[in-house]
A and B are shown apart, each in its own frame.
Chain A
């Protein structure tokens, strides 16, 4: 009997796959973006590898709408990887990312990396996934090889790999290295682990080294073994297919594998969820607080069910600690819902939630309120509710919200949420850990806004302190994060990978600005990024052209952008420019900055396609606002 293939078990089953696919195909002729959206909807279901292949073929006649982020992925591997393309493309589609995949001819990927005239270089990938098999990365040695020689062989092989990573990063690509999947059966048994030159010991050793090196080289890791562990390794690989077609990942596991990679790619483009919205009754505890009362609900030690709910709460709290915001959407009497958190076994506290909506309204309205309160779009939300009717309704009303198919038993909740991979990240910074606290501090700031007599005294009362300097290597992770996920206060919405920004900070023709903001309620971390280029103005002088300017919405309405403009103007003038040229590229989401340049005193300077151009004469630079104390490269003004 075959092992069950890896399934997308966290997604709902499609009610009418054939019908939806036929309708999407029919639409492609006169509405290619509509067809793309219909296929994206279909991809959000529990589809198998044949269905995935059919969606991918239909996708070739569709066209991603203009606001959808694009990503060019090169797939390099020493085993057959072409069969993984549908899973990858459809996995990306599921996350709202338009993926273009390039696969070099079989067996030529190593040469392609080193040859500047290769198709790979011409493709100019945004990201590269290296699918390595065990034999690629781990040299084969006689079983009796002494430990020092094993050590030397592993180091030599590792340094080749690192060399390749560097070459790929020099192309401006984010690199994702797949950890090798062990394919060799033991020759002793348990003892293999203790014999240095055994395959098992060497693969394990190489995995440790690869992970350490990746951390240093800023390379991302795809760990299919860890991800598949819960489901069984046999489901990932298929020995027959390996021998038959050099397919290291079983075709049936293609959609699953594609989704694993797509979640990393989506995170590279900032398409990752930020908020976990939880239902209360039978989701965070057993029973109904309104009917059963605080003594009647099931939570904590004493019963297996109670412990399952407690474990789920502990997992939610761990997510909060890594920076995922928690919120509540519950059909309940608000006082009663809050009172439940007085239960002694409750792990989560009222203060753990950044937003709390308990009433008898439609849940869709509640979710809109939560998004508004947190200043985020609906596409930042994950809705976790045990009630299938609520889930179905929400999926229909607001397809932008991710709604995992919650299993019936509470002991399976964590597995479902973790497997869905909705909170995948490509970096972890101290800013992330602070985020939940920052949102709590924002609530305190709003409180000050209510009591302050006017805007001036509110801003003065914040005691803001802004620190500005060029982007430094240590800032890269957070800066790339902001570049890829900021949609609203973003003048040009140009997306760059960490590697691309890394190249800019080494470029003497570029000026980069990284803005940090503190106030009396706490440290907001990096809140704004500006990237721009100095170029001749055609009249013998120089101008400074703003390529990217974005700001986190957490600090809106505090005149931070005015302070940033003053800093840019001064730095540009010091660098020899007489003019700053800014550009506003409209997207469906950045309407709030359409008038930013005129507000800051820029004059219209024509248009470039849909983009509006603005210029500022540096003879009269704008004054900084009075409420923000400015620190620049250690010099206080």
Chain B
């Protein structure tokens, strides 16, 4: 799975979670940039990503994420493994 494919998938997820058709997943985007990105929506993003990309995250992996770029790298590594 290529990075652009993962970004596309995440864009679709973010738009649904926040009901915002303008949102685009970019490497620097983080929870600080979206007002409604609270812990509740964070979990929705994680669960939707697991379903969409067919991967499963460990809690330790999720703790170190700083932005969307980190998350994409994590998904890419999991798909490659």
* B1-40 interface bits toward A, Cβ cutoff 8 Å, 1 = contact, 0 = none: 0000000000001001101000000000000000000011
Nearest CB on A from B54, distance (A): 6
Nearest CB on B from A28, distance (A): 14
The interface-forming segment of A90-98, A236-244, A455-463 is A236-244
Q: A75 at the A/B interface (Cβ < 8 Å)?
A: no
* A229-265 interface bits toward B, Cβ cutoff 8 Å, 1 = contact, 0 = none: 0000000001011011101001110000000000000
Residue numbers in B under 8 Å from A245 (CB-CB): 39-40, 43
Nearest CB on A from B41, distance (A): 9
Residue numbers in A under 8 Å from B17 (CB-CB): 50, 53
Q: A82 at the A/B interface (Cβ < 8 Å)?
A: yes
Q: B47 at the A/B interface (Cβ < 8 Å)?
A: yes
A243 and B61 alpha carbons, distance in the complex (Å):
14
* B50-68 interface bits toward A, Cβ cutoff 8 Å, 1 = contact, 0 = none: 1100111111001000000
Minimal Cβ-Cβ distance residue in A for B50:
A2
- Does B43 contact A244, Cβ atoms closer than 8 Å? yes
Nearest CB on A from B53, distance (A): 9
A452 and B24 alpha carbons, distance in the complex (Å):
76
- Does A57 contact B59, Cβ atoms closer than 8 Å? no
- Does B16 contact A252, Cβ atoms closer than 8 Å? no
A110 and B57 alpha carbons, distance in the complex (Å):
34
A243 and B54 alpha carbons, distance in the complex (Å):
21
A190 and B40 alpha carbons, distance in the complex (Å):
37
**Size class of the A contact interface (CB-based, 8 Å):** 20 to 34
Q: A587 at the A/B interface (Cβ < 8 Å)?
A: no
A243 and B57 alpha carbons, distance in the complex (Å):
13
Residue numbers in B under 8 Å from A48 (CB-CB): 51
- Does A247 contact B43, Cβ atoms closer than 8 Å? yes
B43, B54, B62: most-surrounded residue (chain A CB, <10 A): B43
- Does A54 contact B19, Cβ atoms closer than 8 Å? yes
Residue numbers in A under 8 Å from B74 (CB-CB): none
Residue numbers in A under 8 Å from B62 (CB-CB): 244
Nearest CB on B from A239, distance (A): 9
Minimal Cβ-Cβ distance residue in A for B61:
A240
A247 and B47 alpha carbons, distance in the complex (Å):
12
Residue numbers in B under 8 Å from A240 (CB-CB): 56-59
Minimal Cβ-Cβ distance residue in A for B56:
A2
Q: Which of A51, A57, A241 contacts B43 (CB 8 A)?
A: A241
- Does A57 contact B19, Cβ atoms closer than 8 Å? yes
Q: Which of B40, B47, B57 contacts A252 (CB 8 A)?
A: B47
Q: A384 at the A/B interface (Cβ < 8 Å)?
A: no
Residue numbers in B under 8 Å from A238 (CB-CB): 47
- Does A5 contact B59, Cβ atoms closer than 8 Å? no
- Does A2 contact B13, Cβ atoms closer than 8 Å? no
**Chain A 1-37 residues near chain B, CB threshold 8 A:** 1-2, 5
Residue numbers in B under 8 Å from A244 (CB-CB): 43, 59, 62
Q: Which of A2, A54, A83 contacts B55 (CB 8 A)?
A: A2
Nearest CB on B from A433, distance (A): 43
- Does B43 contact A252, Cβ atoms closer than 8 Å? no
Minimal Cβ-Cβ distance residue in A for B63:
A244
Nearest CB on A from B31, distance (A): 15
Q: A49 at the A/B interface (Cβ < 8 Å)?
A: yes
Nearest CB on B from A609, distance (A): 38
Minimal Cβ-Cβ distance residue in B for A50:
B16
Given that A2-B54, A54-B19, A240-B57 are known contacts, is A49 also in contact with B40, CB under 8 Å in the complex?
no
A378 and B51 alpha carbons, distance in the complex (Å):
37
Q: Which of A1, A2, A49 contacts B44 (CB 8 A)?
A: A49
Residue numbers in A under 8 Å from B40 (CB-CB): 82-83, 245
Q: Which of A1, A50, A241, A247 contacts B48 (CB 8 A)?
A: A50
Residue numbers in A under 8 Å from B44 (CB-CB): 49-50, 53, 83, 251
Nearest CB on B from A248, distance (A): 13
A51 and B48 alpha carbons, distance in the complex (Å):
11
A245 and B47 alpha carbons, distance in the complex (Å):
12
- Does A50 contact B55, Cβ atoms closer than 8 Å? no
Residue numbers in B under 8 Å from A49 (CB-CB): 44, 47-48
- Does A251 contact B43, Cβ atoms closer than 8 Å? yes
Nearest CB on B from A252, distance (A): 5
- Does B51 contact A5, Cβ atoms closer than 8 Å? yes
Q: Which of A1, A82, A252 contacts B56 (CB 8 A)?
A: A1
A582 and B68 alpha carbons, distance in the complex (Å):
66
Residue numbers in B under 8 Å from A247 (CB-CB): 43
A171 and B74 alpha carbons, distance in the complex (Å):
51
Residue numbers in A under 8 Å from B58 (CB-CB): 240
Give 12 pairs: A residue, B residue, CB < 8 Å, sorted on A. Answer: A1-B55, A48-B51, A49-B44, A50-B16, A50-B44, A50-B48, A54-B16, A57-B19, A83-B43, A240-B56, A244-B59, A247-B43
Residues of B within 8 A of A (CB): 13, 16-17, 19, 39-40, 43-44, 47-48, 50-51, 54-59, 62
Residues of A within 8 A of B (CB): 1-2, 5, 48-51, 53-54, 57, 82-83, 238, 240-241, 243-245, 247, 250-252
Q: Given known contacts A238-B47, A241-B43, A251-B44, what 4 new A-B pairs fall within 8 Å (CB)?
A: A2-B55, A57-B19, A240-B58, A243-B59
